[in-house]
Structure formats: structure tokens, C-alpha cells
Amino acid sequence: MSFVSLIYNIFFVPLGLLIVFIMKPFNKKLKERQSQWRNSLSALDKLDNSRPRLWFHSASMGEFEQAKPVIEEIKKMEPDVQIVVSFFSPSGYINQQQYSYADAIIYLPFDTRANAKMLISKIKPRAVAFVRYEIWRNYIEQLYNKQIPVYLICATVPGSNALRTFPFFKSFSKSSYSFFTKIFTIGDYHSKFFIDLIGLEKVETMTDTRFDRIIQNVARSQKNPIIPREIFQDEDFVLVVGSSWKPDEDIVIDTVYEFYKKNRLNIRLVIVPHEPEATNINRIRTKLPNSLLLSELLKQLENLNIKEIKENLNGKHIIVDSVGKLLQLYSIATAAYIGGGFGVGIHSVTEPAGYGLPLCTGPGIENSYDARELLKLKVLTTIENKQDFTQWIKKMNSDKELLKLSGKTAKEYVYNLTGSSKILAKALLNR
């Protein structure tokens, strides 16, 4: 055992276990995880020992979305391969139980040497992929010792400065990353960190697999939209306001009302609040009385024909009162306003860009690489106030060529970054 492994197992593993023990009674998610991880491993007993296995580990749901297109490419190439998926977080484990491409979904036991040896012997993987930044020292070291290929996919620079600056943690990072057979990053900036740390031969620059996932979702939503575009008037400018907060809603709603009074243009808002709780929905509905809840509209779609709904909806805006609808709703949009730019940080811009939509948001885009790139391409417009938003909506409404060009450029940005999933699938299958 190396000095770094010795220190990690003598000091940091017991400390981690102690923290888990202390926090478990007060943390619902941690309590759920610790009470269920052993039971979750029974899913491995149902696997077919005659078929090869690949193992994917993700921290939670967000990281698993990056793994999905790779898994699905693998299943296309070798349908006989069994996929084992592990999560550390209950949000991933619980919410992904119905994912049809996984043959077994489990919790990852805590990172002790004994647990690592036990789990690897139960899974018997042909190869393993850890997603993004999730690296557990004992697991990757045991995989390395057993000569099982282990990859870090969609790798990004660690968020913690301690891993890059403090001598021990820097040595720990270098030693741990060296166990990987290959590290596939999502861009040159991230590659530079790993190349400086462990050398060029183990690092390869790719793009983020989430772009492959985006175009899959776009195609699916356009084929089967949650609500048909035909319920709007042909001349309606449909603005989807995605993951909005109060500052976003105040600017958008006030501006659209004022703009409508002066210009008589048919702007239709589809507001998707970040938190669709009753208090937020009631607040938005008070501010936007000429509106309909999505739940009410969906009931109409069950009982009325398109012509009747179109007549009922004429002039009304839509407020989304449930979660999980935003990505599908972009398929009916003329343009998109992305929430969060006035405080918490901008929501994802890549999904609406994938639909070929011009984008607008508040000024807070510094934490989003894609937003900064789309701003350079003049696809995304940032605003500071109602006057800025008025100028943007007026320009998009009046200049059809600009609207079309902006959408085309946005879509090209996403589509030009696709293709990594197939390459990663081949690497894991050793093709």
C-alpha cells in the first residue's frame, strides 16, 4: 500500500465514517442511503454470470444524465452486455430505478478497502466508468490492482481548491487520478489540469456527452410535444420562460404587458417557475391574471378538440404548475428566456439552444461556460432591466431573419459538440 493510501485509510476513511454516523439521524437522504445500501446489492444477484458486465458510477442524477447516452450506445453496439449502475446519492438511486438500459442499480458502499474488494468481486466488471468528478480512492485502486480498465468520463477540474493547492491533497489527487486507464475531459481547459497533474498519455479531450443527450431529448419532444403548437394562433410569439425566479418574472411580465398595450403584438408567455409551489404559482397568477395553469390546459386536451382549445386559449398565457415539463415545452417556443441570471445563477442554456431558439437572460452568466460561448456567438442576449428586455423582444419579434439566424446558430453550437458518447462506448468495449 502506498503512503498516500495508508494516510487515506488510517485517517480520512474513519473520519468520513464518523461524520456519516453523526449526521445520519439529522440528514434524511443520508439516513435513507445508509439504511438501504446493503439491500440494494441484492440486484446484483439477478445478473446473468455468462454475460459480460460494464459498471457506471455517478454521484447523482445530473452526472448520470451524462452517462446515459454512453450506456445507450453500448447497448446498440453489444446488446448482450449487462450494465451495472451505482449511485452515492439517494436522489439518483431512487429516481432512476425505472431506467430500462440498466440491468442492476445499486448504492455504492462507503469507500473502504473491504467494501471495494467485496463489490468488485460481486460485479466482476469488464470495465468501469466513473462520471465527471466522482473518484473513490479504494475503488479505483483495487480496480487498477486487478487490471480492470477504469475510466473517468466527462471529467472536469475539481471544484475544491484544496485538491489543487495543498501539498498532501495535490499528491492525493495526482496519485488517485494515475489509477485511471484514461481520463476523458469535456474540453481543453479541463484537459490542461489533468495533463499538468499526471501527463498527456492518460488524458484525452472530448466534448460533454450531455450534448448527445440533448439532441435525443429534442428529437423525442418534437415528435411527441407535451402540448401541441397548434393551440396557439399562427402569429403568436411564444416565449418560454424557463426556471424563472421572481426578478425574472417581474421583468418579463411587466414588459410584456406594457409592450402589448403599445404594440398590440401577440406575445404568449409560458412561465415555468424554478419552484412551482402553490405560493409561487399564486403570486405569478395574481401578476398574470389572463393565464391558464398547465394542469388545466392538459385536462382540456383530454376533453376538447384543438379548435375549441385554441379559442379558449386565445390571448391567454400559461403558467406551469408541475416539475419535469420544461425540456418538452421548449419544443413549442419561438424564443426562450432563461431564469436565474439575476441572482442564483443562470439555468441551463444548452437545452433551448438545441431546439434552435434565440435566448435571453439576466446578467449572471459567469458560472456557465456555454452561456458565455453563446453570448459570443450573439445567440444569447443578457439584460439588466425592463428596457433591455423590451429591446430584445421587439427585435426578435420584428426581424424574422435575425430570429431564424440566431436559432440556427444556437442549434449548430449544440450539434457541433455531439458525438463523444459513441467514442466513449467504443473505449469501454475496447473496440
> Closest Cα to residue 382, out of 269, 211, 251?
251
- Residue-wise pLDDT for 225-260, tens only, equals 899 999 998 889 999 999 999 999 999 999 988 877
Domains of the chain: 3-206 (3.40.50.11720), 218-415 (3.40.50.2000)
Note whether 205 and 185 are within 8 A (CB). yes
The confidence score (pLDDT) of residue 264 equals 62
Q: How would you write the pLDDT of the chain (431 residues) with one tens digit per residue?
A: 677 788 888 878 888 878 878 877 787 777 887 878 889 999 999 999 999 999 999 988 889 999 999 999 999 999 999 999 999 888 889 889 999 999 999 999 999 999 999 999 999 999 999 999 878 999 999 999 999 999 999 999 886 665 666 666 778 888 899 999 999 999 998 999 999 888 888 999 999 999 999 999 899 888 888 999 999 988 899 999 999 999 999 999 999 888 777 766 689 999 999 999 999 999 999 999 989 999 999 999 888 888 888 888 888 999 999 988 999 999 999 999 999 999 888 999 999 999 999 999 999 999 888 999 999 999 999 999 999 999 999 999 889 999 999 999 999 999 999 999 999 999 999 98
Separation in Å, CA 167 to CA 22, 173, 252, 294, 316: 29, 10, 49, 54, 60
**CA–centroid distance for 285 within its chain:** 29
The b-or-e profile of 310-332 (16+ CB within 10 A means b, else e) is eeebeebbbbbbeeebbbbbbbb
**C-alpha to C-alpha distance for 250 and 340, rounded to whole angstroms:** 13
Give me the residues paired with residue 185 across strands. Answer: 155, 205
**CA–centroid distance for 384 within its chain:** 27
DSSP-assigned states of every residue in 118-155: HHHHHH--SEEEEETT---HHHHHHHHHTT--EEEEEE
Q: What is the mean pLDDT of the chain?
A: 91
Q: Cell match 453489444: residue?
A: 78
- Residue-wise pLDDT for 348-361, tens only, equals 999 999 999 999 99
Separation in Å, CA 128 to CA 38, 183, 384: 21, 12, 46
**C-alpha to C-alpha distance for 372 and 357, rounded to whole angstroms:** 16
- What is the number of alpha carbons within 13 Å of residue 83 lying toward its C-beta? 24
**C-alpha to C-alpha distance for 54 and 280, rounded to whole angstroms:** 44
Three cell numbers written together for 233: 394562433
**C-alpha to C-alpha distance for 92 and 254, rounded to whole angstroms:** 38
Note whether 231 and 313 are within 8 A (CB). yes
pTM score, whole prediction: 0.81
- What is the number of alpha carbons within 13 Å of residue 77 lying toward its C-beta? 17
The confidence score (pLDDT) of residue 160 equals 65
**C-alpha to C-alpha distance for 281 and 277, rounded to whole angstroms:** 6
The confidence score (pLDDT) of residue 135 equals 82
Separation in Å, CA 359 to CA 131, 239, 242: 29, 10, 11
Helical H segments across 205-343, by residue range: 210-223, 246-263, 278-287, 294-303, 306-313, 326-329
Three cell numbers written together for 414: 449544440
